[in-house]
Amino acid sequence: MIYLDNNATTAIDPEVREAMMPWLVENYGNPSAGYRFGKIARKAIEAAREQVADLIDAQPEEIVFTSCGTESNNTAIQSAIGLRPESKTLLCSDVEHSAVLEVMQHFDSRGYDHRLNPVDSSGDLDLDAWKDNVAAEGVAIASLIWANNETGVISPVERAAELTAECGVFFHTDAVQAVGKIQVSVRDLPIHALSMSAHKIYGPKGVGALFLSRDVRFQPLLWGGGQESERRSGTENVAGIVGFGKAAELAKSRLDEGESIAAKRDTFEEGLISEIPDIEINGNPKRRLPNTSNLYFPGVDGEGLLILLDEAGVCCSPGSACSTGAVQPSRIVKAMGHPSARARSSVRFSISRNTTMDEIREGIAAVRTAVGKLRVTMPSGGRVVINS
Ligand code: PLP
């Protein structure tokens, strides 16, 4: 298998797995218990909180552990809404992950209005529009994805946060794809909330975190036992949290690997572009995550390409797939102003620190073969782009 879908999830790092094992097996005490067997679990959680905080230059008390990035996003948005009942506009960019977009859409039926800030054909945020949008009356929250999961395009989060703060609006960023891949720091920035997820950074699935700036008011999503300093009830996933802490520590120490990962990604892209006619990159190639390559194959059905690649042992992603696995034309590529045909013919490849040069070479060969087969079966030979 050649795994080129690391924005979907990553393999657990062996050091992370090792750190987790004692908390899955012998140290099963409840961290809220008053005896020593519980207190050692509490201590492990607090150590992980420091590691996760350190990754984004936050204070440990600003980190709330959750069950995933999706929960972190839901918590931030619903807290902002709950605390500002008079504000009925919810703002995000047109290229958010569904874990932000669908939460905001859900509130439309309750009298809210969600507004989508445009991006240009490279996926770059229209900052002038953002400035106007945050200045409008009654904005409860402005949320901006730090790096896009499909194209890897990095948003101007620092500037957007400043513009948002100038208008006194709550600013949240979904940094699930950015954290651990590029430098993400909340230091000296008016970021009120930031979402993270362990399984995107070689940590376990089922654990996330929400950074909540000390200065902000907050309303929990989950109520009950009062864990996480009354901010997220529910018995903690101790092993998962310990694994997240270790993954965060490793990510921080390995941030400079971005360059070598980008070099492999570029070799992959250049190989494909030189061997297959007409390929184009989706998203600003100068402002994107080092591991992500989203490519448009004119005249090639993206779903067909994925099927052939799967048969060849290559894992990659369509623009977007729903939970049933059905492939939809990429909403993100369409939001960038491209026609549906391009959105249907685009595929995301995302590599990791574990991807080898052999896999890059074999990946290129597999894609070339699959595209060749698909283009031969098309009457046009796949060279005509239909703008629909
Ligand atoms: N936000 C972004 C940008 C993502 O890419 C993902 C996962 O793909 C999520 C949120 C959701 O994270 P999780 O899978 O931890 O719920």
HSE-CB for 244 with a 13 A CA cutoff: 36
Task: Kindly give, in sequence order, each residue whose CB lies less than 8 Å from that of residue 352, ignoring residues fewer than 6 positions away.
Answer: 3, 6, 10, 11, 202, 261, 291
**This prediction's pTM:** 0.96
Cα separation of 327 and 324, whole Å? 9
Tokens coding 358 = 């052999």
- Per-residue confidence (pLDDT) for residue 324, from 0 to 100: 57
Residue whose token pair is 């959680």: 45
Whether the predicted pLDDT of 380 surpasses 80: no
- Per-residue confidence (pLDDT) for residue 322, from 0 to 100: 52
pLDDT digit string, tens, across residues 161-194: 999 999 999 999 999 999 999 999 999 999 999 9
Q: Positive or negative, the Cα torsion across 351, 52, 161, 70?
A: positive
Q: How far is CA 233 from the centre of its chain?
A: 24
Contact 360, 268 (CB under 8 A): yes
How many whole angstroms from 197 Cα to the centroid of ligand 1?
7
92, 167, 316, 322: which one is catalytic? 322
Measure the CA angle with vertex 147, ends 234 and 140; round to 5°. Answer: 60
Tokens coding 1 = 């298998």
Quick one: which atom of ligand 1 is closest to the CA of 198? 15
Residues composing the chain: 388
Would residue 322 show up in a list of annotated catalytic residues for this protein?
A: yes
145 lines ligand 1 (CB under 6 A): yes
Least confident of 299-313, 323-337, 369-383: 369-383
Measure the CA angle with vertex 266, ends 260 and 272; round to 5°. Answer: 145
pLDDT digit string, tens, across residues 257-288: 999 999 999 999 999 999 999 999 999 999 99
How many whole angstroms from 158 Cα to the centroid of ligand 1?
21
208 lines ligand 1 (CB under 6 A): yes
- Per-residue confidence (pLDDT) for residue 378, from 0 to 100: 59
Written as one letter, the residue type at 383 is R
Identify any residues that bridge with 317 across adjacent strands, giving them in sequence order.
Answer: 348
pLDDT digit string, tens, across residues 80-115: 999 999 999 999 999 999 999 999 999 999 999 999
DSSP structure string for 202-222: TS-SS-EEEEE-TTS----SS
Tokens coding 202 = 């070689």
Quick one: which atom of ligand 1 is closest to the CA of 145? 3
Question: Which is nearest to 80 in space by CA: 39, 126, 112?
Answer: 112
- Per-residue confidence (pLDDT) for residue 225, from 0 to 100: 95
